[in-house]
Amino acid sequence: MAGLFETDETKSHSGDDLNRPLADRLRPKELSDVVGQEHLTGEEGVLTRLFSAGGTGSLVLWGPPGTGKTTLARLIAGKTDHHFEQLSAIFSGVSDLKKIFESARLRRSNGTATILFVDEIHRFNRAQQDSFLPVMEDGTITLIGATTENPSFELNAALLSRARVLTLKRHDEESLSQLLSKAEELIDRPLPVDEEGREAIIAMADGDGRAVLTLAEELYRSTLPDERLGVDGLRKILQRRAPLYDKGQDGHYNLISALHKSVRGSDPDAALYYLARMLDAGEDPLYLGRRLVRMASEDIGLADPQALQITLAAKDAYDYLGSPEGELALAQACVYLASAPKSNAVYTAYKMARASAQQYGSLLPPKHILNAPTKLMGAEGYGVGYQYDHDAPDAFSGQNYFPTEMGRQKYYEPVERGFERDIGKRLEYWAKLRKQRGQS
């Protein structure tokens, strides 16, 4: 097996090169070689356009594990004459940052700019993140941060205002298959699996490009040249559960779609079946918990306000118990959602409200509902004419709360099902009062 990875391309390389992980040896050398991120690296991709315009500036690369964040950072650095520094926020602190900033300043005084790549940048606390601001502002460094977490929640607003966020996509089946093909080309040997085995490897990688290449490498190292494994053989070799979904259902995404639509269609038996299928295949139970929470808001909403509480409780129960005991809580939530009255009224209303927010921009709310903490604001009419609803008949003043330029809007239309039937009656009553008081 010592010469397994030796090909015409690698015979002239050092022994150290042959011992490098397959994922590292297949790391792209050009933007056009990157797989699965064409929206960034294709001919019309964001990064391609930025380079054509003369540079990228500071960036935050946000995406799931194994989507190529480190690779893109290196490629960006390679497109410039900047010095490249790399560190991980997991293993670094303020003292490390100070040393890098001092070296960057010295380098800058000698005419060389610095690109600093920080992996897992969300692990830095707020104070550590603030330390980047002055060196970004004066051009001492160009920052490229990588994170698997939502930058809006994990990174300072001040830092985000100085960097552009680029979102990397989770690898789909097609891009993972492309990576396996690149591995086969490099090794000069087909992957030692049948078609179902290949699909299983892709499913096991769960959108992670590095993971799919690591699995391929394990197989190459553990099989003979003429072997061809099926699903059972894969399990024995890799010693991990393959999330094998029914080929006829096209895998993961079709099954989660089937689960969602079974819940929406009020069929608890079908919903339980698909939930069990995915759990049995090795799907992350917390992923399923998150999807159930989404269903509670999208498809049930205020027709049964308990639905959201029950799904969140099921997620917490799984967090507390783990598998397999915690899976029963997910099943309970699944049955509850499928059996609950259905309404997408809130979901629809929210989409309409967002469209209005984008259409009308930053309109000022009517002055009568604005506070006037200063004399100047009071003189400007802030708070003048506001009616305190608790002092009004029926605790309802009927005043307008929309910006004057918009006029009153109507987004939410409760359905005649479940608790929303009662909500609808209230809204009708308030609309009647508003009309009687001439404020419709």
134: domain CATH number? 3.40.50.300
Q: What does the alpha-carbon distance between residue 261 and residue 282 come to, in Å, rounded to a whole number? A: 21
* 334 and 371 housed in the same domain: no
Residue 301 near residue 344 (C-beta atoms within 8 A) = yes
* 280 and 323 housed in the same domain: yes
In tens digits, the chain (440 residues) has pLDDT values of 334 444 444 444 444 566 788 988 999 988 888 999 999 998 888 888 888 777 778 999 998 889 999 999 998 888 888 899 999 998 888 888 999 999 999 999 888 889 999 999 999 998 899 999 999 998 899 999 999 888 888 899 999 999 999 999 989 899 999 999 999 999 889 999 998 889 888 888 888 899 999 999 999 988 887 888 888 888 778 876 444 444 334 456 778 888 999 999 999 999 999 999 888 877 889 989 999 999 999 999 999 999 999 999 999 999 899 888 999 999 999 999 999 999 999 999 999 999 998 888 888 899 888 888 888 888 888 888 899 999 989 898 888 889 988 888 999 999 999 999 999 999 999 999 988 877 65
Find the angle CA(177)-CA(180)-CA(184) to the nearest 5 degrees: 135
- Structural domain contains residue 331: yes
* 260 and 331 housed in the same domain: yes
Q: What does the alpha-carbon distance between residue 31 and residue 37 come to, in Å, rounded to a whole number? A: 10
* 147 and 48 housed in the same domain: yes
- Of the three residues 120, 140, 167, the one that is the final residue of a domain is 167
Q: What does the alpha-carbon distance between residue 264 and residue 338 come to, in Å, rounded to a whole number? A: 6
- Structural domain contains residue 31: no
- Structural domain contains residue 379: yes
> In angstroms, what CA-CA distances link 224 with 184, 233, 240, 297, 406?
15, 13, 20, 52, 71
* 319 and 423 housed in the same domain: no
pLDDT of residue 3: 43
Q: What does the alpha-carbon distance between residue 185 and residue 248 come to, in Å, rounded to a whole number? A: 29
- Structural domain contains residue 28: no
- Structural domain contains residue 355: no
Residue identified by tokens 């759990």 is 279
pLDDT of residue 246: 46
Residue 47 near residue 164 (C-beta atoms within 8 A) = no
- Of the three residues 120, 150, 167, the one that is the final residue of a domain is 167
* 272 and 318 housed in the same domain: yes
* 292 and 326 housed in the same domain: yes
pLDDT of residue 13: 46
Residue 156 belongs to what domain range?
A: 37-167
- Structural domain contains residue 232: no
Residue 73 near residue 61 (C-beta atoms within 8 A) = yes
Closest CA to 70 of 128, 155, 17, 146: 146
Residues with Cβ < 8 Å from 95, sequence gap 6 or more? none
pLDDT of residue 301: 95
pLDDT of residue 439: 66
- Of the three residues 167, 194, 227, the one that is the final residue of a domain is 167
Domain CATH number, residue 426: 1.10.3710
* 393 and 309 housed in the same domain: no
DSSP β-bridge partners for residue 86: 117
* 382 and 264 housed in the same domain: no
Q: What does the alpha-carbon distance between residue 290 and residue 313 come to, in Å, rounded to a whole number? A: 11
pLDDT of residue 8: 43
Q: What does the alpha-carbon distance between residue 47 and residue 154 come to, in Å, rounded to a whole number? A: 23
* 71 and 142 housed in the same domain: yes
* Distance of alpha carbon 406 from the chain centroid: 34
- Structural domain contains residue 229: no
- Structural domain contains residue 389: yes
The count of domains in the chain is 3
- Determine how many CB atoms are found less than 10 A away from the CB of residue 296: 25
* 47 and 153 housed in the same domain: yes
* 370 and 325 housed in the same domain: no
